[in-house]
Structures are given as structure tokens and as C-alpha cells.
Structure 1
Amino acid sequence: MIQVNGQAPISPTTSPRSPLDIALDVYEETLITLEQESLRPTFEQKVAVLAARDGVEKKKQMDQNPTSISYARLLSLDERLKAQAKILSEDDELAQWKDSLNAAPNMWWWHLKYPLVMSSTKVAKRYQESISLLEAALPYPTQEQVLEVLLARDAIETSRDNQPLPEHIAKIVIDLDERLRSLADVINRDGKLEYWKKSLSKITPNTWWWELSDIEPIPTQAVERYEKALFALESPPKPSSEELLEVLLARDAVEKAWTKQQQPPRHLTAKIIELDKRLKAQSQAFANDDIVDEWKNNLKPPEMNWWWSFTRSIPLPNEAIARYEKTIQVIDNSKPPSSEQLLDTLLARDGVEEAVEGAYRDKPVPEKLARQIIALDNKLKQYRLDLNKDNQIRQWKDSLKRQNRWWWELKPAIVGSEEEPGTRKDWLFNTLAVVCLGVGAAFTAYSSQVFFQKVEGQEVQQADLSQNMAAVLQVIGLGAGGAAALTSGGRKTLEKLFTNLQLPPSKQAPTALAIAAGMTAITGTLAASLPLWGKVYISQGEAHLQNTNWLKAQDSFLQAKKFISGDEDKAEVEIGLGMSYEHLGDLAKAKDYYKQAAYLDNIEGMTRYARLSLVDFFLKNPPNSRVQPSVTDENLRQAHLFNQRAWIRITKWLDKNQQTPEKIDRNLLNLTQLARTNGSIISAVQDLIVSPKDNKALQDEEYRQKYWTESVAGLFKSNLDELKNLKVADNDALNVRAICFTYITGEQLRYTENITNVPPELFSLVHGYMEQDPNAPNCYDDKALSIYDFSLIEALAKMYKKPKYRNVLADNYQQQITNAETTNSNQNPQGFNPQSGYENQNSQDSQLTAPSINP
């Protein structure tokens, strides 16, 4: 039964069929009819199938939520339709009817060809198999094997459909092409390649595999071919298109052979000049043949090959100049001239250039003609602003592919141009603008260097979106301001701006200075504000930590490293990175970042590094191990030293800032509880695992459990009482952490360690609240405890039981203490000066063993 939009359940068998399913039924019926009549289907049956497929496409576009069953059915029916491609493509009447419909390209069923185009994977496999067969038949492969390789390579290009091949297919094809090139002598051994190439019309320049027999001609052979082709062209009657093309290709071969020679034969120079004169005499025959012009468009010969320019008719200079003069008169009489009139003038100027080049290629232009052209050009330059209106000249140039002709590059007149020379005041403004832009560029370079610097923790240089946008906008702004206003590079930017503003030349220099000064002020302000960026990234990182977005927090803290310089900010960043890696389970990196913060004399960094050192100690020395840990264990030593240093700083802080419900320093309260917890755990480790004063803690389970209860449960009670006395809210993160640490420890004893007699001193603290109050926190949420908090809890629970090692003598205790003191004195961390060794941890006077709630 299916319930839809809150309505009563309905049976699937009674649900109404969608329009798409109905269209699929019609499509399937017409397909079945066509398949049954596959030998001699009628024209109507073929059209019915295609029309039914049209109907399916329309319904599919209307159905916004089609079922997967409908899609699967459509794909199956389409495969059956493709199987009928031969029947549908061989009907001439149907082909004419399809052409009249002008179906869209995406309606593939109207464009079915036979045979169907193979996929790139299949054609690559065919290509690979054909080359393998050819190589296996060496040294005497058959002509069929050679031809199959070439046709298989053709299929690769056909399957591409002007699109790049998939990367994995492209790598295969590149390797196979190298193998094919190595077989060039085998492929052309019998001389059949040229015959096949002509028969199959393989003359396109990109099919290099059909040119494996095209050995570079020597100049003498190329000139002989050129002369032979010219003779055929000059012979009556009218030359054919093939003869014209052969002449051009023969001239290409001469050029190619000539450029390949380091020292071309001199005796052929006069011969080539004579043949070129005969070729120029036939220029009209090329200009009147449209097919040759189509070949030129397909082959795309280099512009330097002048013989291909015969394919367009060139007017006489006088006729071209007369047309140019007429168009100039038209725009003179029009105020303002239209876009069509301006475009006609530019095209007329193109005609003048082509006519002059054709008529005076090797001779100077007559003086009278040159003066006439210069006068008309000066008139054309007066219409710079009209030509650049709405950027229309740029659009015309791009559409018509006009390059390197000054009239298509005309820009509005600016200060310092030939039409508008600058005054002293203008030059002063421009100089000041350049100075401002130079200063702004220096600010931009400094900001960009900060944005794109690589910081510790990043594998590559990396800037986020805001930094990229700031850098890009600065660069764009400097460019828009007219960098180096008096240079050609700066003019291009200024011209675009002044054209859009329709700014007269007299106002351009002050405007450039104002823009440059504004950009300098903006870039300078941005450079001065970079330290604030660091504060913002630190705030972002802390917010991500609160929302448990650990990876985003890492990115924010790493970005902050670029901008901060003070030790306090650096310590905040290191602690933030350590917390993110701690929650992600990377103990080594988390410890390293906390240690960096501790070296910056940060109390929180010290306590957190001490805490993770304890975690590392327990991971390497589980309490249920059969090997007793050493009193000189490095992790335990580091935990003691750093936590003792932190506690000394905390007690001094507490003396100056008395904690009251009305005045709570949350940071100080958090550090107090962290250091107290670390100190109690260190003491318990010493007295229950590492260096008990006698074997009673290892052999007497009742004594051990009593000590554990007084130490660990007493710690939890102290933390909770302190929070309660200071009236910290139940949902506060500090309270949640203290509650969850206590509760999870009890649960670990009950269910993991199977302790039936959980100490009531522990059980009575929070278990009633956690199991009865609906507002109790979720202690398994990542916000409450990290995975390494759970590691500490697991170790504390295991310490409740007797260890598996028992042969410990009380007189070993003093020797271990002596060794510890020696190690401490030799390995004291830089900048730290702890006052004592581990014995202070266990003494009655130690501040770490049982720090008071209000020290």
C-alpha cells in the first residue's frame, strides 16, 4: 500500500498510469509492428515509430518526477529502435520527409545513421586489435590488415565528434599512434597507401596516418611538380578545379622543400621566380573558381603563402579609393553617422589596403595616390568616438577577424595623443597618478604576498575566496585606475573607461588622478587591516569548533596564521588546531599544536598538552597490560612537568581573581578544572600503576578500590561542587563536560569492566540526574567529550581493577624516584623550570594531588 500526500493508502495496481507510461505503451506497440514487418515495413509504420518516440519525449519533459521503471523501459525501447537503424536510414522517401521536418539535433531518432557510431572504448579496442594483428603478421602483413589499421584509426576520429577523447582512452590512443608510426615503412611497402588515400578521399590535414608515405620532397622534385602543374593549367581549354588545386599544392611543396633546406640550391631561384610570374598571370582563373576558395577555407594555409590569396578578387586601387572617399562623404553628411555607415567606411578602407598591396607589392605607392589615402585617413580618425560607441568597433573586429590594421584599432583621443597634446597641468596630474598607482601597487603586492603565502600545516599555497576576491579586486581596480597613464599599457585601460564616460580630453587627467588616489587609499586601508583579518579567522575557527565543523575550523585557523604576529593570537591558533585534530582523532598532530601553544607560555596549551600526554601514556601502557610502565616514561614525565607549570600559573591567577557566582572568569574556571583533573590522574597513575609505595595497591583489591574512589570520585565531586557553588548553568559546556566525564566513567565501570559494586560515591553524583531528567545532556555528542576523553575514561575504569603484574617490591620505589629525578633534570623542556619531581605529585602538600575548589 502506498500513501501519497497524506491521502488514504491506495493499491499500486489501482494507481492511474502516467502520461509517460501511456506514451511508452504506444511507442512499444509501434516498435513491435515494425519488428514484425522487418523485411518489408511500410512507410507509415516507420513514421509511426518516430512519431511515437516524439510523443514519449514530450511526455518525459512534462513529467517532472518519472519513475525509475519508466526510465528503464524507455532505455530498453530505444535500444530496440537503434537496432532498426538500417531500415530507417535506407528509405529515401523517409529521408526526404525527415529533412523537411528539420528536427532538433537532440532528437537523435530522426538522425539515425547506419552503421551506428561506435563508442570511443569500442573503436579504441578495434584499433588496438588491428595493430596487434598487423605486428603479429610482420614482416609480411596482408594488405587487408594494413587497411584495417588505417580505417580503425579513422574510426577513432569519427567517434570523437570534434570532442576530446576521455583521458583513459586518449592515453591508449597516444600509445597506439606511436606503434603505428613505427610501422610506417611496412604500411607503405607495396605503394598502396597513395592509391587508398585518393580512392577514399583522405586529403584532410589532420589524418596524418594517411600521410605516412608523404616523404619530404627535395627542392628539385618540388619545382618539377610545380612546373608540370603550371603547364597543365595553362593548356587549353579552361582549367579545372583539380588543376587549380594541384598548382597551389605544388607551390606549397616548393615552399616546404625550400624552407627545409639550410642552403637551398641557387640555380633553382631564377626558375621559381619565372614560374611564380606565370602563376600570377593566372590569378583571375583562381578568383573565378568558388571551389578553390572552399578548399582554402578547409586547408587553412599560412597567411605568408601569397599564392592562396588569388582565390579572392582584388579591386584596382583607383576603384577602391573612390569607394573609400564616397563612404567618408556619407559619414561627413550624417550627424551623427549610423553604425552601418561607419562599418561601410572601415570595409572600404580594407579594400584600399588590399588593392594597394596587390598592385604595388614590390613597388612604392605613387605620391598622388598616397596623399589621397592619407587625407581620407585623417578624416576617418576624427570619428574615433563614434566608432567606439557601445564598443561596436571591437565587436565588428572580432566578428570579421580583422587584426593588425590601425583603422580597426582606433581608440578615443586621450591626453598626449596626436589629436590632443597635453598641457603642463595635465602632465603633472598624470605624473601624480602614476606615483599613486605605484604606491597602490606596492600595497597590493604586500597584501597579495600575505594572502598567498604558504603557512605551516598547508601542503600548498592556499587563499580562500575572500582573499582571492580582495587580491583580484585590487588588481582590477589598479588597472581600471589607469596604471601608468602615459604608457601604452595604461592608455588601453583609460581609453575603455573614458569611452564609456564620454569624457572630454580636458577632464581626463584630473579624473585619472582621482581614480588613482582612490585606489591607493583602498589598497592602503586593506594592507593596514590585515591584522584584523587574523582576528576574524580566529573567531570563525572558534565558531566552527562550537558547531563541530572540525575541518572548517582547521582551515580558518590556518588562514589566521598568515595575519597574526602576537604570541597570544598564535597560541589561540595553535590551541584551535590542536582541538580540531583532537576531535578528528589525530593524536600526534593535536599534541604537537598544544605543545607549540605551551612553548608560547599559554596556560591552556600546557594543560591540554599534559592531558594528551596522559592519553598517549595510556595508549602505550594500558592499565591491564602485563608489563609495568616505567617511572621515567616520557609521556608521563611531560604530563607532570607541563601540568605542574600550568598549575603554578593558575594559582597565582586565582589569588588575583577570586571566583564568585557574580564574577566568574570562565577561562580561568576551565583551566582550573583541566589542571585539577590532570593532576589527580597523574597521582593515581603514580600510586596505582607506576610507583606504588608498597605492593598493597597492587595486591589488595579493596585497598586499591578505596584509593581509586577517594582519588577519582573525589575529583569528580570537587569539579561538580565547584561548578554548583559558582552557579554555572546546567547546559553550560563546562558543566556538561564535568557531568559527562563522571557519568561515562560510571557506565564504563558497569558495562565494560563489569564492576557490579560501582562505588556509591561515584554513582550518586550524576547517574540519577542523567537517567531521570529529560533535559540531561547527550554525553556521546562530539561537543561534550572528545574521543581522547573517552580514552582517559577507559583507562581510569581499568585502573579500578588490580593490574596483571604483581611482583613489585616496595624498595624499588625509591630507586625509581631517583631515576625519575635524574631524567627530569636532563630533559626539562625549554622555558620550563618545575620545582620538583614526581614525589611532589604523591605528597600531601602537592597542589596537583587534591587542589581545593577555591584555591
Structure 2
Amino acid sequence: MQEKLQGDSLFVQALERYQATLETLNSSDVKTWRDDDVMGLLITRDELQVQLDAAIAPPTNSALHITTEQRLQLTRFDQSLTQLGPQIASHVIAKKWHKTLSPPEAAWWWHFKPPVHALDHLDWLWTSIAAVGLTINLSLLSDIALRFLSGTPGFLSSLGALVPTLLTVASGGAFTKGGQQTLKNFLQSLRIPSYLHQEANAVLAWSLFALLFRFYSVLPEIANYYIEWGVTAHHEGNLATAQEYFERALYLDPNNAEAQFQLGVLYEDFNVIRKARTEYKKAIQQQHLESYNNLARLYIIAGKNGDAVFLLNQAILQVAEEGGSKQLEYALYKNLGWARLQQNRLPEAQGALEIAIDLEPDEGDPHCLLAQVLDQSPETQADALSQWDLCLQYLGTDSNIYADEWKHLANQRLFSDEASLDEVNEFNLPSDENQE
């Protein structure tokens, strides 16, 4: 019930409007509140405060005398206003005017807090979840960026590091004051309620984690593209470019056996045999069969025939169990025959070389090696001549580092009665091809 107010001063008139508006708002649903009533209530309270301050300011203005009863009435009305505070704070017009007027803290009726939603009590949890997600994102981003930017970064590698960096910075901005306001405005534009903003922030952080993790998981696929580009550059003679591509592939996927193998082949072209062996050994740890073959060939050249045979037998066994290309199987048996020839285990050398010839009869290497095996025994020297003939025929215009010497030996055996078997036996190395 409306209290009876004494006096006809401006203060009393404002107090009456204050009381009437409070009763109007108290008696109606918040959703039906009119903007004029809400703003009128707050502005009236401003007027009351101005007059109250003037009445108590020295020297006291008798024209603005406010009685004790009127002060008590204002206190009771303020209590009613305080009870409506959360609803007023949630009202759109109050929010807009608060932003426009920027009232001082002393005008407490302008600074009500909206009612706390039940979900807001869990904001600390969602904030922690978002922080954990951001920490993981930063760690993952650091690893991704390091893989792309290590060595000599190019345009593609820089771009590969830039995109996830921008995404993570955008997510991390949600923990700064400016970033929080930007995120708040964005969520409001999507009409997401304020009590779900912390949850949305956590979802954003972990959605970014999903994107970064997906990007991280496809790094081996990206590495394969670099390998393809490296092989193309190698074939075109751009060795430095090929090396950059293979090394970038290994930065992206350190255990990529194909990249290690191709880099080993490249090091052989650079004649850096020690590094080639190192790369082949790394690839062998991933069961890369071509690397078994190439490392075995380098061992044979270095006179480590026992080590070569061990690797070749392992690879041949794996090919038998798991399958492999015909060209690879040929290379393994050809090199096994070569190693056995070096060990002077001629029957085993002959058997391996005959298998190699069955697999690739038009390759010159195994014929040249088999000719040397057969030349070791007087009983098979006649058969050796036919192998020398095939050696000369299939080597053709081959320009590998052994071809010229083999042609010379073949010509001596085929066309010179004074050919010395000792001279033939001095050189029994096969071609130094990348695969073989």
C-alpha cells in the first residue's frame, strides 16, 4: 500500500514518483516492464540524491529541508529498489543508459548486477578447462611451428606455421581483457546467452585443439608431398633443392623411412658415403627394404661382405614373407651374388646371380658378375664367355662408374687370346645404381 507522504516540496514529489514506479514494477512481470518505467525509476532516484545532497551540504538550505520521516521513507523505498536490482540490471534499456551515462560508483542504483544463472556457478570449472586446452594448443603449436620453420623455411613451410599460429593466438586472446570483450561481442552477435560464455570459450579452445591435432596428424601426408617434389628435383639434377625437400619431409615426419632412403641416395650422389650409411641405417629401423639393399651394397664396396650378406638375407626373407617389387628382389639377389663372389663362395654366388638373371634377364650387372664367377673354374670358362657376351650386350650405353671397366674386361675375354684371368678377377664390382 502506498505510504502517505508529508509536504509538497520537490523532494516529496520525487519521492512519490519513486514510490509509484516501484509499486508498478513490483506488481508486474519483468518481461512486461516498460522502458519508460525502468528509466524513470533510476532518474527519479538521481533527483532524490541530488536534493538529499543539497539538503545536507553546508550551509544548510532551509528551502530543501528533509525530515527524518522522509529519510526513513527513502530508505524503505531503496530497500525495495535493491530487491528489484538484479531484474533492473538485466533490462536492456538500463544496460544502454548505463553505458551512455557512465554513472559514478556512488550512484549504486545504476550498478546492480544481473541475477547469477545456475550455470555461472561452474564458470571456474569451464575457465580451467579452457586454460588447459589453450596450454595444450600452445604446446602443439610450438611443435608444429618448429617442424615447419626448422632448416631453411620457404613460403609453404612458413604458411604451414602461420595458419595454426593465428588460430592459437585468436584463441589465447580470450584470456586478455581486450580479447574477452571481443569474444563477448562475438558470442552476443550469435545470440548466445551470457551464462554460456565461459562454456563457449572452453568449446572454442578444445575445437581449436581438434583442428591443430588434425593438422598435426596429417604432417606425414604433407611430408610425402615434399618427398615427391624432392624425387622430381633429384631426377632433374637440382640436388640442393632435392636435399631441402627431403630434409623438410624429415622435419615434418622424423621417422619417414622413404625420406631417409631418398636422402641417403642423394648423399651417395654427393659422395658423402658416411651420411648415406647413416640415413640408410635409420630407414632400416623402419624396415625399409630398399635401404637394406643400398646399405649392403655400400658394405660390399667397403669390403664388409659379412655385414652385407646379413642385411641381404634379412631383406630377402622379408620379401618372401611380405612381398616386394620384382626390381627390388632382383637387386637383393644380385648384390648377394656379388658379396658371395667377394667371399669366394662361388656356388652360392652363382645360385644368387642366376636367380637375379631369371628375375631381370635384360640387366647387364648379373651377367657381368656371373661371368666372373664362371671364369674362376676351368670347367666353366666356356660358359663364362656367353655371360661376357650378354654382359657386353645388356650394358649397352650404360654410363655408371663400372660400365666402362666391365666393357673392357668383356672385350678382352671375348676378343683377345691374351686376356688374363687375373686381370678379370681384379675388378668384380657391379653398377652403383641408386636402387641396386
The TM-score with structure 1 as length reference comes to 0.28
Instruction: Give the drift of 1:418.
Output: 5.7
Structure 2 gap segments, 5+ residues each: 1-56, 59-94, 104-109, 369-386, 414-419, 423-427, 431-436
Are 1:586 and 2:272 matched, yes or no?
yes
The answer to whether the Cα contact below 8 Å between 2:243 and 2:266 also exists between their aligned partners in 1 is yes
Instruction: Give the drift of 1:680.
Output: 3.8
Are 1:722 and 2:336 matched, yes or no?
no
- CA pair 467-718 structure 1, distance change in 2 beyond 3 A: same
The answer to whether the Cα contact below 8 Å between 1:534 and 1:559 also exists between their aligned partners in 2 is no
Residue pairs, 1:23-102, within 5 angstroms? none
Are 1:642 and 2:271 matched, yes or no?
no
The answer to whether the Cα contact below 8 Å between 1:607 and 1:642 also exists between their aligned partners in 2 is no
The answer to whether the Cα contact below 8 Å between 1:578 and 1:591 also exists between their aligned partners in 2 is yes
Q: Deviations over 1:549-589 (max 9, x none)?
A: 65555445544545658xxx554342132123334543332
Are 1:669 and 2:326 matched, yes or no?
yes
Instruction: Pick the aligned partner of 1:468 from 127, 137, 161.
Output: 161
Residue pairs, 1:652-801, within 5 angstroms? 652-653=317-318, 655-656=320-321, 665=323, 667-683=324-340, 719=356, 721-723=358-360, 738=363, 759-765=388-394, 767=396, 790-793=400-403, 796=406
Instruction: Give the drift of 1:534.
Output: 2.3
Output the amino acid matched with 2:326.
L
d(CA) in 1 for partners of 2:158 and 2:268?
27
Output the amino acid matched with 1:671.
L
The answer to whether the Cα contact below 8 Å between 2:123 and 2:198 also exists between their aligned partners in 1 is yes
Structure 1 gap segments, 5+ residues each: 1-366, 369-380, 388-405, 408-416, 484-488, 618-634, 658-664, 694-709, 725-734, 744-757, 771-778, 781-789, 809-841, 843-848, 850-855
The answer to whether the Cα contact below 8 Å between 1:448 and 1:471 also exists between their aligned partners in 2 is yes
- CA pair 557-474 structure 1, distance change in 2 beyond 3 A: farther
- CA pair 739-798 structure 1, distance change in 2 beyond 3 A: closer
d(CA) in 2 for partners of 1:437 and 1:512?
8
Output the amino acid matched with 2:335.
N
d(CA) in 2 for partners of 1:429 and 1:795?
82
- CA pair 681-530 structure 1, distance change in 2 beyond 3 A: same
Instruction: Give the drift of 1:541.
Output: 1.2
Instruction: Give the drift of 1:477.
Output: 3.4
Are 1:544 and 2:230 matched, yes or no?
yes
Instruction: Give the drift of 1:505.
Output: 10
Secondary structure, aligned partner of 1:791 = coil
Secondary structure, aligned partner of 2:303 = helix
The answer to whether the Cα contact below 8 Å between 1:553 and 1:576 also exists between their aligned partners in 2 is no
Output the amino acid matched with 2:330.
Q
Output the amino acid matched with 1:477.
A
Are 1:447 and 2:140 matched, yes or no?
yes
Are 1:576 and 2:213 matched, yes or no?
no
Q: Deviations over 1:519-564 (max 9, x none)?
A: 3133145336634422441454145325536555544554454565
Aligned position for 2:206: 520
The answer to whether the Cα contact below 8 Å between 1:538 and 1:556 also exists between their aligned partners in 2 is no
Residue pairs, 1:58-207, within 5 angstroms? none
- CA pair 434-576 structure 1, distance change in 2 beyond 3 A: farther
Instruction: Give the drift of 1:444.
Output: 1.1
d(CA) in 2 for partners of 1:652 and 1:593?
22
d(CA) in 2 for partners of 1:506 and 1:454?
38
d(CA) in 2 for partners of 1:570 and 1:560?
8
Q: Deviations over 1:388-428 (max 9, x none)?
A: xxxxxxxxxxxxxxxxxx99xxxxxxxxx967557244634
Q: Deviations over 1:336-393 (max 9, x none)?
A: xxxxxxxxxxxxxxxxxxxxxxxxxxxxxxx99xxxxxxxxxxxx9679789xxxxxx
Output the amino acid matched with 1:636.
G
- CA pair 648-512 structure 1, distance change in 2 beyond 3 A: same
CA RMSD of aligned residues (A): 5.3
Output the amino acid matched with 1:646.
L
d(CA) in 2 for partners of 1:599 and 1:655?
19
d(CA) in 1 for partners of 2:406 and 2:100?
86
d(CA) in 2 for partners of 1:424 and 1:496?
22
d(CA) in 2 for partners of 1:740 and 1:597?
26
Aligned position for 2:4: none
Aligned position for 1:185: none
Secondary structure, aligned partner of 1:423 = coil
Instruction: Pick the aligned partner of 1:596 from 273, 282, 290.
Output: 282
Are 1:608 and 2:273 matched, yes or no?
no
d(CA) in 2 for partners of 1:718 and 1:608?
19
d(CA) in 1 for partners of 2:140 and 2:320?
44
Output the amino acid matched with 2:303.
L
d(CA) in 1 for partners of 2:269 and 2:151?
21
Q: Deviations over 1:497-521 (max 9, x none)?
A: 4446764998234245224313313
Are 1:431 and 2:124 matched, yes or no?
yes
Aligned position for 1:783: none
- CA pair 422-523 structure 1, distance change in 2 beyond 3 A: farther
- CA pair 383-741 structure 1, distance change in 2 beyond 3 A: farther
Q: Deviations over 1:87-113 (max 9, x none)?
A: xxxxxxxxxxxxxxxxxxxxxxxxxxx
Output the amino acid matched with 1:479.
G
- CA pair 540-564 structure 1, distance change in 2 beyond 3 A: closer
d(CA) in 1 for partners of 2:158 and 2:295?
33
Instruction: Give the drift of 1:647.
Output: 2.9
d(CA) in 1 for partners of 2:258 and 2:226?
12
| Aligned residue pairs, count | 296
The TM-score with structure 2 as length reference comes to 0.50
d(CA) in 2 for partners of 1:502 and 1:531?
34
Aligned position for 1:249: none
d(CA) in 2 for partners of 1:430 and 1:645?
64
Q: Deviations over 1:229-267 (max 9, x none)?
A: xxxxxxxxxxxxxxxxxxxxxxxxxxxxxxxxxxxxxxx
